[in-house]
Structure 1
Amino acid sequence: MSRAVTTYHQRVAQEKRALIVTAATALFLELGYDRTSLARIAERSGVSRATLFKQFPSKAALFDAIVTESWSAAGEEDPPPAGNVVDGLGIIGRRYAELLGRARMTDLFRIVIAELPRFPELAHAQFSRGKMPYFESVRSYLLAEQEAGTVRVEDVDLVATQFLGMISNHVFWPKLLVPGWEVSAERVAQVVDEAVRTIAARYAVPGSGVPADD
């Protein structure tokens, strides 16, 4: 089989996968996880049942894929180089805010919250396949900065949680819980900058090139 044909088939498979994920997310929101069948997802996405089962043998596998793909786009980007914690955290913070601002991320959390009493495994998938790998990428960056001598941190897990929490508490949770809530791009930038300044003021090593706080 030629490379061009192989590439074509790969592209078609990716397009069908995207259609399936989009349809499944919409149906999980409309009908709930329990009432959404793979057959209904196949019908909504416009693919055959055989195609769907080939990519996702179970509804749980499909939900795991939704979680993984929702979080991985930002988590797979190269981490900023260590050596300037303000610049590095600024990059990470903007990526995180952009990730949380995606409609799919809001939808994902709504599905998990709605189905948590009956399907706690959905929350486990969200935590273990989505949030924790992303958290680990932030934690690894902070460890690299500590190795570079720009920060002094006793509890890296706590600092990573503090930083991400300062951003999500402003740009994500109100949007998730309050209908029609919007956060301007200017406000998002301000939130990220203040989170960076707060972490740098507390943990940066004096003389490491971090600007003094006004």
Structure 2
Amino acid sequence: MSRVVTTYHQRVAQEKRALIVAAATALFLESGYDRTSLALIAERSGVSRATLFKQFPSKAALFDAIVTESWSTADEGETPPAGNVVDGLGTIGRRYAELLSRPQMTDLFRIVIAELPRFPELAHAQFSHGKMPYFESVRGYLLAEHEAGTVRIEDVDVAATQFLGMISNYVFWPKLLVPDWEVSAVRIAQVVDEAVKTIAARYGATGASGE
């Protein structure tokens, strides 16, 4: 019985956390980071101040949570195993495109850009807690493929940047600047496939699996 009660309380806590994060994101966009208080966030999210402070003792901690949740992959899948760079990059590319297509990702970047002059620490949080961990996971995958002999890459930082950039430059950045920018699922799949083919053609080892 106690396990059922614990699971219930965990679910309720997660639901309240999601409400808080959603309310904070909306208020940061509407009123700015500086003019949004934790009390106002508690009111908008419909939770008590005690509940909010228990989960997020500061506004900075709340923003870190927004970053972390925005950059979390939809399926929380593990990094693909090395051995077939086409299949592996295809999986990573589809996850990345899905990630960039979420409204909360666009919201996050808009908050950071708007508040950058006064709150550079927000950009640092976005970079260190969001973008870099994700980049490192892709970098690590390419390094594993290099060590497995499926690709030959002298600079994995450049290769990872090339791959992610080919996807984000079509799927994400226009959407950030043009609110009504829409890309169909079919087109996104084509963009990912072409990015995979480009990396495989550039770095694939002769006779390696996946070429």
**What TM-score range do you get, normalising by the shorter chain?**
over 0.9
- Displacement of 1:74: 4.8
Map 1:69-148 to 2 at 5 A. 69-74=69-74, 76-148=76-148
The TM-score with structure 2 as length reference comes to 0.97
The TM-score with structure 1 as length reference comes to 0.96
Q: How many residue pairs are counted as aligned between the two chains?
A: 211
1:150 is the counterpart of 2:150: yes
CA displacement, residues 29-68 of structure 1 (integer Å, 9 cap, x when unaligned): 1101011000000000000000000000010000001001
Structure 2 residues without counterparts, runs of 5 or longer = none
Aligned to 1:64: 64
CA displacement, residues 139-172 of structure 1 (integer Å, 9 cap, x when unaligned): 1111111111100000001100110000000000
Between the aligned partners of 2:5 and 2:210, the Cα distance in structure 1 is 52
Between the aligned partners of 1:127 and 1:168, the Cα distance in structure 2 is 16
Map 1:147-186 to 2 at 5 A. 147-186=147-186
Cα pair 2:97 2:171 within 8 Å, conserved: yes
SS at 2:73 equivalent:
helix
Aligned to 1:9: 9
One-letter code aligned to 2:105: M
What value does the CA root-mean-square deviation take over the aligned residues?
1.2
Cα pair 1:70 1:104 within 8 Å, conserved: yes
Between the aligned partners of 1:65 and 1:18, the Cα distance in structure 2 is 10
- Displacement of 1:210: 3.3
CA displacement, residues 5-24 of structure 1 (integer Å, 9 cap, x when unaligned): 11111111111000000000
* Deviating more after overlay: 73-82 vs 8-17: 73-82
Between the aligned partners of 2:173 and 2:107, the Cα distance in structure 1 is 12
Overall identity of the aligned pairs, in %: 85
- Displacement of 1:77: 1.8
